[in-house]
Amino acid sequence: MSQQSVIFFDIDGTLLNHDKQLPSSTKEAIQELKRQGHIVAIATGRGPFMYKDLRNELGINTYVSYNGQYVVVEGEEVYGNPLDKTAIKRLSEIALANEHPLVYMDPNYMKANVPEHPRINESISTLKVGMPSHDPLYYENNKLYQTLLFCTEEEENQYVNAFPEFDFIRWHKVSTDVLPNGGSKAKGIEKAVEKLQIPTERVYAFGDGLNDIAMLSSVHNSVAMGNGVNEVKEIAKYVTKPVDEDGILHGLRMVGLL
């Protein structure tokens, strides 16, 4: 192979279908990319501990976690952008007063600030990664790269106005990601590509959700999944088939990688 490319894949709704299963055509396509010498990477809102099995299954050791806040290239941590601890403390106090629970997340664990809550169960159960344990002060002695705030879209507005330190990106009707202001998958990919020294014209990304908009807007070759939200399809250069209809394989053929 004369030209090596790097391809970043979102997980939920992109690599995995809505049952959190990896289509056989997707696995075969990724294996072929690797046989050709390309670098296959992940760019996800999940934490590293939440998709370790998937990385092992696909043989992937370059990944952008927590929507760009924690980046590992070929097994080496190359970038970290933790949440401000003072602001997290203030968010914790206000959210608790509003009866909106939080889940604190670092590269290895997720810890809830309440023993249990129906909104935590409803949303995190869809990821099929287990439930967080309880540690209301976990933020004090650990670097957090993302926090989950459990509230509705209407309830979220008060936090957006009160916390300019954070960006809020909704992923579920009762849960939103809390990120450092300006943090995104795009920024994480930029750090990974700098380390890999891959030319921008040979950087590809596949995604389907709102947290993929910055990523797909910034990479040279962007592919939206057919099952993706309209906002993603509108900004991507290519739109492939849905994940359950061999969307990854079809998309890789569309862009000429397979």
Segment 29-83, tens digit of pLDDT: 999 999 999 999 999 999 999 999 999 999 999 999 999 999 999 999 999 999 9
> Does the pLDDT at position 245 exceed 90?
yes
pLDDT digits (tens, 9 = 90+) for 165-184: 999 999 999 999 999 999 99
The per-residue pLDDT for 164 is: 97
Burial (CB < 10 A; 0-12, 13-18, 19+), residue 20, is middle
Residues carrying CATH 3.30.1240.10, the chain: 85-180
pLDDT tens digits, 140-161: 999 999 999 999 999 999 999 9
> For 183-211, how does the pLDDT look when each residue is reduced to its tens digit (9 = 90+)?
999 999 999 999 999 999 999 999 999 99
Question: What was the pLDDT predicted at 190?
Answer: 97
Catalytic residues: 10
Every domain of the chain with CATH number 3.40.50.1000 lies at 6-80+183-254
Fold of 6-80+183-254: Rossmann fold (3.40.50)
Predicted TM-score (pTM) of the model is 0.92
> What residues form DSSP beta bridges with 146?
105
Residue 123 and residue 110: Cα distance in Å, rounded?
Answer: 14
User: Which CB contacts under 8 angstroms, 24+ apart, belong to 198-205?
Assistant: 198/4, 198/5, 198/6, 198/39, 202/3, 202/4, 202/5, 202/6, 203/5, 203/6, 203/8, 204/5, 204/6, 204/7, 204/8, 204/255, 204/257, 205/7, 205/8, 205/9, 205/10, 205/43
Task: Give the residue carrying structure tokens 């991507």.
Answer: 236
Q: Is 87 helix (H, G, I), strand (E, B) or coil?
A: helix
pLDDT, mean over the chain: 96
The pair of structure tokens assigned to 40 is 């296959």
Q: What is the pLDDT of residue 2?
A: 56
Fold classification of 85-180 (topology level)? 3.30.1240
Tokens of 239: 């739109």
